[in-house]
Structures are given as C-alpha cells and as structure tokens.
Chain A
C-alpha cells in the first residue's frame, strides 16, 4: 500500500476527482457553453473585429483548454507530494 491509511487513499482520490470535475466544468462552459449554446448573445460583444461567441468557438476555447491541462498538472503534482504517492 502506497498510502499511509485507507482514509488517505480515499481522501486523495476524492481530491483528484474534485479537481477533475471543476476543470471539466470549465472545459464544458467555454466550448459547449460559450462556443455553441450561448454563441448568439455573446456575439453581441466584440473584441476588436471579432464577435465573442464566434471567437470562443474558433479560438478562445483552445487557449482555455491549454491552460486547463497545465493547471491540472500543477495541482496534481502538489496533491501527489502531499499524500506521498509521487514518483521518485
């Protein structure tokens, strides 16, 4: 057993799932939310020459995706350290 106790293993897994779900919510909101479902109201707002909803569908969501993965990596590495399950 890599964890100190059963409770630690459960707590680690719960923290992992919570992080994952929060990030997936953001993932869903920027792509399916802003880029598809809310595209029309958002198109009323403009950044430069681009309508916001259109921009999220074709470019903005991709930037957020990249950021999400790096936040996940950073948070998970911290979590692994905290529970002592990181690799040597």
Chain B
C-alpha cells in the first residue's frame, strides 16, 4: 500500500480512538471539567502530563534542531526535562495540597489580591495562546505533507477533533485522550529510532546505539564519524558547541524554570487524589518524557550521518540529482528542501562553506528520517499519526487553561461570583470553543512571530509565575506588594529585552549587544532573578502578611488533609 493510504488509515484509527474516549469521559461538573474530578491515577496522570508537555515542537522539531546544533542542542534536552525536578520538589506537592483549580487561584489567594490574580490570568492566557497557535500549525504541516490536503483543511480537521473532546470532556476527556495520545506518539517515535539504530549500529536501543561502532565500518564510532564528517564539510565538530558558556547556562536555566512555571503543566498536578500522588506523578511524567528525550539526541546523530551520506555520497563527491532518492523530491515540493546546482555538475553537495548547494529545513529531520533510512511505508505513516497526536494533546491542554482562566478565574472568582456550577460549566465550554476557533485562526494565518515567541513563553513563565509560586510556598513573609512588584519587574524586563531584540531592532541581535552576552532566549533567567530581588526588597518595607494567609502557607507544607481542602 502506498504511504498516503496507510497514513489515512493510521491517522483515521487514532482519531476514532480519541473520539471514543471523549464520549466515554464526558464531564458533568466543573470539578470534572477543571481537574477531571481529582481522581486520576498518578501513573495515568504521568502519561497525560508527558503528552501534554511534549508538543509538536518536541516531536517534530527538537531532534532536527539538535541535529543541526550538535552539543548546543543539549540546552533543550536538559532544559525541558530538568524543570520536572523543580516541579516535583518545589511546586507540585504544595500546589496539590492547596487544592484549588488553577494557577491564578493560587496566586490570587496566597497574595490575597485581585490584582495579583488578574496579572496571573493575563500571563496564563498570553503564554497559552502563543503556544497553541504553534500546535495548530504543526497539525496543518503534517496533514499537508502526508495527506496532501490543504493546510487550512488540515487545521480545521484538527480543530474539530480537539473541539470534540475538549468541549465535551474538559480535563477528564483531555486526560484520558492524552494517555492514548502518549502511547501513539511514543510508539511512533521509538519504532523508526530502533529500526535505524539496528541498521546503523546493530544495537536495539538507540540510547546505546549512538555511542556504538558503525555496522558498516567496524572499529569506527558513530560519533567520531560524525565529528569527522562535520569538520570535513566546514561545520563545527558535532560534540562541540558554538554558543558561549554563559549563554548556554542561561538558556538552559530559562527553559527549566519556564517549564516549571507553565500553567498547563502545573494544572495537571491538581488532578490526582493526594499530595503523595502529585509527587510520584511528576516522577512518572519525567520517565515517560525521558523515553522520548533520551532517544532524540540519538535520532539527531543518526539522521545527520544518514543525510550527509545520502546527499554527498559515500565518496563525499556528491550524488547525481537525477538519482536522488524520492524523499528529496517529495520534500522539495513542500519547499523545505532546495537544491541549487552552483557548480553545474548535476550533483548535490551539502557543506558549511561555498561548496554548499543545499537548503535543508531542520523541521523535516524527524518526519523525513524514516524515508531517509528507507524504512517500510507503514513506519512513515506511523510518524505522521504520532506528530498529530503530539500536537493535538498539547493543544487540548493549553485550550483548557485558557477556558478555565476565563470561566473560573475571571468570571467565578472575579466578575460574577454568584453563578451556579452549571452556568460556570457552560461558560467554560463556550470559552473552550471560542479559544479553539481563535487558535485555529492563528494556525491558518500564522503571525510571523510564532517561532519567535517560544522564547517569550518560557521567559515569561520563568520571570513571572515561577518566583511568585516559589516564594508563595517557601517565604512565609512574602506579601502582596512584594509579589506583584516582583512579577511586574520580571515580566517587563524580560518582555522589553525580547521585544527589543526580536521585533524592534532585530539587526542588533548579536552577542556584542547582549547584556552580559545573554541571548533573548536565556534572558528569562535574569528576569527571574530580578523578580526575586525586587519582591524580597519590597516586602521588607511594606505591610506584613495577614494571619490567615500565614496559616494557609503553613498548612500547604505538609500532606495531611489534602482531601478535604479540595471540597471548597
């Protein structure tokens, strides 16, 4: 069967599964809609968190990014996993004990202030929208490449599926669909990786394979081969970086802290029954994430060697374009690969210097990898289904944060405190539906800045939420004046820095102009430090924290009684 038919079948089957789950897991109350009734098993929650967290960016783009960045790509691997240690040790158990529905709930109650709540709501909505537009776009790209439908049609199909289970099931529907989506995406990620690892290194586990000797050149380690190839073609050695140490340090920190401060991740830990479950659930989440994240660097290395060999040929003299494998021609149609025969010899050649004749988009590395390695068609189709699962699961989690921010934080806790549970549930559903339409619009008409704002989302979460929550738990004397001024200082500084270098004056975005040579991607770390300093200073000179709030802080510091706290 050809790739397209197989892809239709596999993607269709996965969609049928998601819809089936959605019908089974309908939400009847706001508690079910917001936190899945608070009764999700920690293992299932770990799996759902992993799917929630691993977006189209993790699935489609990350390995490609590492493949082109070499050592520097490690910031994504460490940054997007290390945050879970912070979550498990410093945030999740305490927020679960606090026992409300959302992050703005915590910020608003802990800092006894509607202003703090509103600042948190705006941040949550902004962060989530930037993220969700990218996910919808990812769905569209996969559809257009593998099913040859228009990107618009692809996005609309994706919207319809998410609409179905997010609006109907809320967190409950999303949680159980995410469990299924995790299984689809991890299977789709590992199968080609294992295949390629066996082909290239005779090793079943890609995690071991990338450190082994090559199957067709015994005695030569894969990574040495790759370092050699890279240098020969004028690139840096793969295992060495080009970024400055301080910049790598700050980017990794911004990604870690940002991860721990992202509302759609934090809110997942409200869905388990106990504090104990919240702790172990973060552990399971990281296990499931690590499965993909330890495979990604191996895929990156395999793909790079394969790609160079295919294009430049075994003799490193180039391959005739007329004999180019079909994947090159397939991807040329999408515009993600381009060949320009500069020296007129009819051969393709890839290099870092003037010999280069290829333009290769990093995003295709994972999607084209099975084709490059000449794997069977069903593996290629599986990768398409996996990419869609990764994009949809993250989109759903984000849409839920947006809808709860509006129905719960804005309406129930702020503007219309007297609405009934039924009315609030209806509001949540309408908000979810509206959010899906807005996200779909951005997916079809992506604003030019989507790729640019990823740094924004992490920087913002790192410089605003993370310090506010950490101090809310660990610094009993932190008052509302301190927290609000800290959040504002952190956000404004980080946003101004990013906006200046990314939008106002992109030409100036070079290391010489950066503050302490920190790039806009890493500036969130500095924003976070500023937040801490400002908050601690201001709180010393303003009103002490009220008695009842101090008691609340004491009570979230131990697990006992978490069940009751939930029924408010």
Show the binding face of A for B, using Cβ within 8 Å.
2-3, 9, 12-13, 16, 20, 23-24, 27, 31-32, 35-37, 39, 43, 47-51, 54-55, 57-59, 61-63, 65-66, 68-70, 72-73, 76-77, 80, 83-88
Interface residues of B in 262-304 (CB under 8 A from A): 274-276, 279-280, 282-283, 286-287, 290, 293-294, 297
Q: A65 to nearest B CB, angstroms?
A: 5
Smallest CB–CB gap between A85 and chain B, Å?
A: 4
Q: A49-B224, A69-B283, A72-B89 are in contact. Are A58 and B297 (CB under 8 A)?
A: yes
Contact with B81, one of A12, A62, A72 (Cβ below 8 angstroms): A62
Query: How far apart sit A57 and B70, CA to CA, in the bound complex (Å)?
Result: 11
Q: Is B88 a contact partner of A72 (Cβ separation < 8 A)?
A: yes
Is B78 among interface residues, defined by CB-CB distance under 8 A?
yes
Q: Is the CB of A73 within 8 A of B283?
A: yes
Query: What are 23 sample pairs from A and B whose C-beta atoms fall under 8 A apart?
Result: A2-B558, A3-B558, A20-B89, A31-B78, A31-B256, A35-B252, A36-B249, A48-B212, A49-B210, A49-B221, A50-B210, A51-B239, A54-B223, A58-B74, A59-B294, A61-B78, A62-B78, A63-B294, A69-B85, A73-B280, A80-B558, A86-B276, A87-B563
Interface of A is mostly: helix
Instruction: Please indicate the chain A residues that have their CB under 8 angstroms from the CB of B239 in the complex.
Output: 43, 51, 54
Closest A residue, CB atoms, query B88: A69
Within 8 A of A (CB), among B203-218: 207-208, 210-213
Interfacial chain A residues near B232, Cβ < 8 Å: none
Q: Does B340 have its Cβ within 8 Å of any Cβ on chain A?
A: no
Closest chain-A Cβ to B201's Cβ sits at a distance in Å of 9
Given A36-B249, A48-B212, the answer on whether A59 and B77 have CB atoms closer than 8 Å is yes
B252-A65 in contact (CB<8A): no
Cα-based distance from A43 to B276 in the complex (angstroms): 39
Q: Which residues of B contact A69 (CB under 8 A)?
A: 84-85, 88-89, 279, 282-283, 286
Closest to B93 in A: A76
* Complex-state Cα separation, A37 to B120, whole angstroms: 34
* C-alpha spacing A31/B224, complex, angstroms: 23
Q: Which residue of B lies closest to A13 (CB)?
A: B557
What is the CA–CA distance of A70 and B284 in the complex, to the nearest angstrom?
A: 9
Q: How many Å lie between the Cα of A68 and that of B88 in the bound state? A: 10
How many of B's residues come within 8 Å of A, CB to CB? 52
Chain B 234-256 residues near chain A, CB threshold 8 A: 239, 245, 248-249, 252-253, 256
With contacts A13-B557, A86-B560 taken as known, whether A49 is within 8 angstroms of B82 at the C-beta atoms is no
Chain B residues with CB under 8 Å of A48's CB are: 208, 211-212, 221
Which residues of chain B in 57-73 are interfacial with respect to chain A, using CB atoms and an 8 Å cutoff? Answer: 66, 71, 73
Known: A73-B279, A77-B276. A50 touches B211 (CB 8 A): yes
Distance A35 CA – B252 CA, assembled complex (angstroms): 10
Q: Which of B74, B223, B275, B559 contacts A49 (CB 8 A)?
A: B223
B71 / chain A contacts, CB cutoff of 8 Å: 39, 54, 57-58
Q: Report whether B85 and A24 are in contact in the complex, using a CB–CB cutoff of 8 Å.
A: yes
Which of A58, A65, A73 has its CB near the most chain B CB atoms (within 10 A)? A58
B residues in contact with A9, CB < 8 Å: 554, 558
Nearest-Cβ distance from residue B435 to partner chain A, whole angstroms: 32
Q: Tell which of B66, B81, B221, B559 touches A85, judged by Cβ atoms closer than 8 Å.
A: B559
Closest chain B residue to A39 by CB distance? B71
Which residues of chain A are near B290, meaning CB under 8 Å? 62-63, 65-66
Q: Nearest-CB distance from B443 to chain A (Å)?
A: 31
| A27-B85, A48-B221 known; A66-B77 Cβ under 8 A | no
State whether B78 touches A57 (Cβ < 8 A): yes
Given known contacts A48-B208, A57-B71, A80-B558, what 8 new A-B pairs fall within 8 Å (CB)?
Answer: A16-B557, A20-B90, A32-B253, A58-B66, A59-B207, A68-B85, A73-B88, A80-B560
* Interface pair A49/B279, CB less than 8 Å apart: no
A76 pairs with B77, CB closer than 8 A = no
Closest 4 CB pairs of A and B: A49-B221, A57-B74, A69-B283, A48-B211
